Amino acid sequence: NEYKSYLSMSEEGLNVIVVLGYKLNNNGTPCNILVERARTAAALYHSLEGNTRRVILPTGHGGTSYVTEAEAISRIIRTEGNVPEEDIILEEQARSTVTNGTLCWPILRDLLKEHGRCTLHLVTSSFHMARSRYIFTLLFKPLLEMNKMSIVGHESLNTFATTAQADEAKAKEAQLLEFLESRQHSALEAGVAQIQQDVYEMFKTYV
């Protein structure tokens, strides 16, 4: 597991809390899994008080006509978590974990240009963490190697109604991770190439 060697617990500089979305209920309300991710992010935000700037970055579209996953997260962390709106940046187009990473990159790139370095706090459910961490670490590997970014995982509670549902989700995640590790996912590989080029342009003196 090559990606694990680049993980760090550093909290220096800018802290960006990336909250991964999850499908909404049919009526557009957030499901329990998404609520727990949002609550975990809000608690983390307040635990980092006193550090350099803190930003929460909810990501996810969701495909409903009611509200995006990112906006649903934002509402929870503002109303329940007392996180000020000015510390929330939404990414509302992603429809997969891979695009969570690739579509967050333009926002992260602008923050890095301003701050030079960041710790990316990745918030998702425990059943989803291994695949999410693999994707984000692969995408941002050049920044990790240059010590321009650290990645820290924060697992929220799983709230499946039954053990069978939980086991099914874990099995599906294991299959998806195995496919990603085969390096045949075209969108992921395109994202890796694009971010590598962008990082070179940003930090030419470091490469």
| 3-state percent breakdown (helix, strand, coil) of the chain, nearest 5 | 55, 15, 30
pLDDT value for 139 = 97
Residue 123 CB-density burial (10 A; 0-12 exposed, 13-18 middle, 19+ buried):
buried
Phi, psi of 69 (to 5 degrees): -60, -40
pLDDT per residue over 134-164, tens digit each?
999 999 999 999 999 999 999 999 999 899 9
DSSP states along 58-126? EE---S-SS--HHHHHHHHHHHTT---GGGB--B----SHHHHHHHHHHHHHHHHHHHS-EEEEEEEEH
Per-residue model confidence as pLDDT tens digits over 7-26:
343 445 799 999 999 999 98
CA distance linking residue 137 with residue 131, whole number of Å: 10
Q: What pTM did the predictor assign? A: 0.91
* Distance between CA atoms of residues 108 and 103, nearest Å: 9
Q: What is the mean pLDDT of residues 161-178?
A: 94
* pLDDT at 3 > cutoff 90: no
pLDDT above 70 covers a percentage of the chain that reads 91
